[in-house]
């Protein structure tokens, strides 16, 4: 197994952050990302880039972080208890896009690298990441195209990867207390360290590089769709599910908070406006009911409609 090249990973992640920000600025046409560089007292830091009140995007956050410490936080060792007490480095790019128009889905992506070390023992390292799509008023063809891009990112590395990581995404982005998926899924992978560093790193890059190809065509198709108060109100209500998942289940949020990361950067994924209602239900045969009945459950999006 070839040795991990930490500097190569960091260089790629910084370039990926810049590429995604440039692509989102072009798509928005007005707003620009503000840069906020920060340092972590326990070791490391990052650069947060945030776009607000654009023409297309209400808020878009694209965060790079590289943190390290003498022992891994509990969220990172929950399913790998043998790593407790090791020093660690963690780096990644994480982003969440909240558009203005309810017909444009929210999207999330991240790619990351962990390495845990202990004197006298071989380092333990892995890649993780993926992306998922959260529509409010979904279009079947958009969801199919999203999954086609996800599959294309996986296919050079083996035909088994897309179905494996698609299912992992469906299982991970599931709100157990609501018995519904957060959206229509995509890819999720973690603990990837085989068959070797070069191949695992190449796969992570393939996923990271494919994100804008998957998302921006959907944005361009739907950003001018007319909407009114009803659609906006439903968008804000459904954003509440996003908040619930990120604060209750999301590993990245838990890792960031437990490792002493920068709170403002960790919580940049939360939408600027959101609503909750008690026991709200969609009207039968409505566009809102279509989301609940046909999209908030795992499906084979690349099979027959």
Q: Tell me the whole-structure pTM to 2 decimals.
A: 0.92
Peptide bond into 133 cis (omega under 30): no
Q: Tell me what the pLDDT averaged over the chain comes to.
A: 92
For tokens 């999720």, name the residue: 188
Sketch the domain layout of the chain as residue ranges: 6-295
> In this predicted structure, what is the pLDDT of residue 269?
81
Q: Answer whether 283's CB lies under 8 Å from 289's CB.
A: yes
Ligand-binding site membership of 100 (annotated) = no
Ligand-binding site membership of 62 (annotated) = no
CATH of 6-295, one of 1.10.150.50, 3.40.1500.10, 1.25.40.10, 3.40.50.300: 3.40.1500.10
> In this predicted structure, what is the pLDDT of residue 77?
64
Ligand-binding site membership of 85 (annotated) = no
Q: What is the DSSP letter of 110?
A: E
Q: Which residues are catalytic?
A: 108
For tokens 């990926």, name the residue: 16
Q: Is the pLDDT of residue 1 over 60?
A: no
Mean pLDDT of the region 275-290: 95
**Which segment of 111-120, 157-166, 263-272 scores lowest on mean pLDDT?**
263-272
- CA–chain centroid gap for 172, Å, is 12
Q: Is the pLDDT of residue 74 over 70?
A: no
Mean pLDDT of the region 199-222: 98
> In this predicted structure, what is the pLDDT of residue 75?
64
Ligand-binding site membership of 262 (annotated) = yes
Mean pLDDT of the region 30-37: 95
Where are the extended beta strands (E) located within the chain?
34-39, 44-52, 57-69, 87-99, 106-117, 124-134, 174-175, 180-181, 185-192
Q: Is the pLDDT of residue 64 over 70?
A: yes
Cα dist from 213 to 39, 118, 218, 219, whole Å: 32, 39, 9, 11
Mean pLDDT of the region 55-61: 97
76 or 192: whose pLDDT is higher?
A: 192
């Amino acid at each position: 197994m070839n040795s991990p090249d930490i500097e190569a990973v960091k260089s790629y992640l910084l370039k990926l952050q810049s590429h995604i920000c440039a692509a989102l600025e072009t798509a928005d046409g007005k707003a620009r990302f503000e840069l906020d560089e920060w340092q972590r007292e326990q070791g490391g830091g990052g650069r947060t880039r945030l776009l607000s009140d654009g023409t297309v995007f209400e808020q878009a956050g694209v965060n790079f972080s590289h943190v390290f410490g003498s022992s891994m936080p509990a969220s990172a060792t929950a399913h790998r208890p043998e790593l407790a007490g090791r020093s660690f480095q963690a780096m990644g790019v994480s982003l969440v896009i909240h558009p203005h128009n309810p017909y444009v889905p929210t999207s999330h992506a991240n790619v990351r690298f962990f390495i845990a070390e202990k004197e006298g023992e071989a380092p333990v390292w892995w890649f993780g990441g993926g992306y998922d799509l959260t529509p409010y008023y979904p279009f079947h063809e958009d969801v199919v195209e999203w999954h086609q891009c996800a599959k294309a990112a996986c296919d050079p590395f083996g035909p088994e990867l897309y179905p494996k990581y698609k299912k992992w995404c469906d299982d991970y982005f599931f709100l157990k207390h609501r018995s519904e998926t957060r959206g229509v899924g995509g890819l999720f992978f973690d603990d990837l360290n085989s068959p070797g560093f070069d191949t695992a790193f190449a796969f992570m890059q393939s996923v990271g590089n494919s994100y804008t190809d998957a998302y921006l065509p959907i944005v361009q198709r739907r950003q001018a769709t007319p909407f009114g108060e009803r659609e906006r109100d439903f968008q804000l209500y459904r954003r509440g599910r996003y908040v619930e998942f990120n604060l209750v289940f999301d590993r990245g949020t838990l890792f960031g908070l437990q490792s002493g990361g920068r709170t403002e950067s960790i919580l940049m994924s939360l939408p600027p406006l959101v609503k909750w209602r008690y026991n709200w239900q969609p009207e039968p045969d409505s566009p809102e009911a279509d989301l609940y009945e046909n999209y908030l459950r795992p499906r084979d999006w690349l099979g027959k409609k």
